[in-house]
Amino acid sequence: MPRTVSNVGYWTVAGSALAHNVTILSDAPVNQEITSLLWWVLVFSIVIFGVVAGALAYTIWKFRAQPGDDELPPQVHGNDRMEIVWTAIPLLIVMVLFVLTAQTLVKIKQPIKGALPIEATGWQFWWDFQYPNEGLRTAGELVIPVGQPVEVKITSGDVIHSFWPPSLTGKADAVPGENNYLRFMATKAGNYYGYCAELCGASHANMRFRIIALDREDYDRFIGAYRAYEAPPPATEQADRGRQLFNAQCAACHTVKGTPARGVIGPDLSLFGLRLTLGSGVWENTPENLKRWIHDSAAMKPGSRMPAFPQLTDADLEALSAYLYSLKLDGFDFAQLPRY
Ligand code: CUA
């Protein structure tokens, strides 16, 4: 479904939370500290609300005006004991929450043994994902295994962004020249929605991503297949023409594994045929959308850094699309995964 720029991130999150049954409290046995901290804060908030609202309601009821009661009630000026009590109790609550929060912050900063390292770099307006150990690089869609913690090292190549997959974990800012870490784990296979959560320019609301969580065997098969993968030779004349066009027009910015295309300015397109979305999680990856995207990406996503290619004919675009959709690993279809 086409989406407009005015579609602000938070509403999208609320919408997708309703539509996809987002679990607000992650049930993964990783960073449980955050979940229990959230429960503590929730319990305190409910108790405080109950006491304050209850006392207010009681007072309003108890001291309401009676018929014929026109006199001012006795006026009270100051009560040292009460003032001490209502200063001390909130202070105590804040101190308890502070200690709990500080403990949690220290704990979640600890690296997790056996976590899968991934590097995420935010750019206006897409996410670049690199797997230092696997040599894999993807854009907009991050593939992770179920049941293994991942450690995402987050940074930015231009302005400040924020990496946020709400069904899996909290958010972390992507700051140029700095690394922030998010550690989390998916407990079930699925297609998890992610958002940029820091205003970063014209297409901030269009800077989304997906986390594709695969069951262990599928993930291992995926990585194995990727390691052995080289872009398959074009099966049709059209795809072959597409490859030539790609290598002439697109290779300066994009990489396709096993071909002369080695550009790193734009997304790595080695597995483009597996992608569910275009334009970093915004548009469905259909031939129709792909052709529009290549023709003039900024018309679909304001502020897109990819130049327009008005000179390409419809036949050129068809050829490019035939080539790009041939770039995939056999036996994988992420469209079947449940969405969260
Ligand atoms: Cu990137 Cu908002």
pLDDT of res. 68:
85
Residue 9 in contact with ligand 1 by CB distance below 6 A: no
In this prediction, residues 316-336 reach a mean pLDDT of 93
pLDDT digits (tens, 9 = 90+) for 278-290: 988 889 999 999 9
The rounded distance, in Å, linking the Cα atoms of 122 and 157 is 6
- The domains located in the chain, with CATH, are 14-63+75-109 (1.10.287.90), 116-214 (2.60.40.420), 237-336 (2.60.40.420)
Over the stretch 189-240, which tens digit does the pLDDT of each residue have? 999 999 999 999 999 999 999 999 999 999 999 999 999 998 889 889 999 9
Q: Give pLDDT tens digits for 102-150.
A: 998 888 888 888 999 999 999 999 999 999 999 999 999 999 999 999 9
First vs last C-alpha separation in the chain:
17
For position 24, what pLDDT does the model report? 46
Residue 161 C-alpha to ligand 1 middle, in angstroms?
4
Please work out whether the CB of residue 245 comes within 6 Å of at least one atom of ligand 1. no
207 lines ligand 1 (CB under 6 A): yes
At residue 35, the pLDDT reads 81
State pLDDT tens for residues 58-96. Answer: 999 998 888 888 888 888 888 999 999 999 998 999 999
Distances (CA, A) of 316 to 259, 267, 322, 327: 20, 21, 10, 17
Ligand 1 touching residue 196 (CB < 6 A)? yes
Residue nearest to atom 1 of ligand 1 (CA): 161
Averaged pLDDT score across all residues of the chain? 88
Question: Is residue 20 over pLDDT 60?
Answer: no
Query: What pLDDT, on a 0 to 100 scale, did the predictor assign at position 16?
Result: 47
Is residue 122 in contact with ligand 1, taking CB distance under 6 Å? yes
Task: Check residue 280 and give its pLDDT.
Answer: 84
Q: What is the pLDDT of residue 108?
A: 82
pLDDT for the residue 3: 39
Instruction: Tell me the CA–centroid distance for residue 9 and ligand 1, in Å.
Output: 10
**C-alpha R_g of the chain:** 26
pLDDT at 38 over 60: yes
174 CB within 6 A, ligand 1: no
pLDDT for residue 339 is more than 80: yes
- What is the number of residues in the chain? 340
Per-residue pLDDT reduced to its tens digit, 244-269: 999 999 999 999 999 999 999 999 99
Measured distance CA(289)–CA(158) in Å, rounded: 27
Q: DSSP letter string over 43-104?
A: HHHHHHHHHHHHHHHHHHHHTPPPTT--SPPPP----HHHHHHHHHHHHHHHHHHHHHHHHH
Band (pLDDT 50/70/90 cuts) for residue 29 is low
Average pLDDT of span 42-64: 94
pLDDT tens for residues 162-180?
999 998 988 899 999 999 9
Residue whose C-alpha is closest to residue 325's, from 208, 229, 235, 211: 235
